[in-house]
Amino acid sequence: MAKLHFLYSVMNAGKTTHLLQVRYNYIENGGHVLLFTSLVDDRFGVGKVRSRIGIEADAIPLRKDDAIDAIVATEHAKRPVTAVLIDEVQFTTAEQVRQLAWIVDELNIPVMAYGLKNNVYGVLFSDAIATIMALADDFLEIKQLCHCGRKATMILKFDRNGEAVRSGEVIELGDESRYVSVCRRHWTNGDIGPAARQLLARATAAE
């Protein structure tokens, strides 16, 4: 039976690389895969999913009022869909996540949704994440390390002085250099670590 999978991590843990590898494996075996991404995330162009190691694929860009269930059902009627993959699921809506569950239950198509579980303020990223945490059949954490060697579970946002930012916008697309994935202890302490401080110093010196 098909399942709704939630694959989550902090930033820079390789979620998109994992997603694109899964897509490639399905296609290599003759599968028909529908790949979606949020219209909000247009860092690499609208409808583009790209990993930090350079691999990419075209995707269907989703607005918050798009009905994913209808899009998938229409395509499935033309040609059976093997799997549905969602990048950046945290930017979708709770209703769209419920539609993902419908795709699994009524069309028997596996859905793999990738995204950030927590935001920089230490709470679930969005209503969509709260909903998928409630509805998903299967969970997989894609692990990343903190600068201290512990597992990174939190995202720390920092300013140009390397100080932790505790208010304001959660995500500023296009300025990923202001985020670092850390363990809970260093998130609480606001410690971005030596590597991030070094990169910040280089950027400041180059200005």
90 marked as binding residue: yes
123 marked as binding residue: no
Residue in 30, 47, 27, 29 with CA at minimum distance from that of residue 39:
47
87 marked as binding residue: yes
146 marked as binding residue: yes
Q: What does the block give as tokens for 203?
A: 């950027």
Name the residue type at position 93. Answer: T
55 marked as binding residue: no
Environment class of 179 (CB within 10 Å of its CB; exposed 0-12, middle 13-18, buried 19+): buried
10 marked as binding residue: yes
83 marked as binding residue: no
171 marked as binding residue: yes
Give the integer Cα–Cα distance in Å for 125 and 179: 15
33 marked as binding residue: no
The H-assigned helical ranges of 29-118 are 68-78, 94-107
Cα 181–chain centre separation: 14
3-class SS at 174? coil
Residue in 81, 90, 33, 29 with CA at minimum distance from that of residue 62:
90
DSSP state of 163: P
Which of the residues 28, 56, 75, 88 is marked catalytic?
Answer: 88
176 marked as binding residue: no
Q: Active site includes 176?
A: no
Give the integer Cα–Cα distance in Å for 12 and 164: 18
88 marked as binding residue: yes
Binding residues for ATP: 9-16, 87-90
Which residue ranges make up the annotated binding site for substrate?
A: 171-174, 179
Q: Which residues are catalytic?
A: 88
Show binding-site residues: 9-16, 87-90, 146, 148, 171-174, 179, 183, 186
Binding-site residues from annotation for Zn(2+): 146, 148, 183, 186
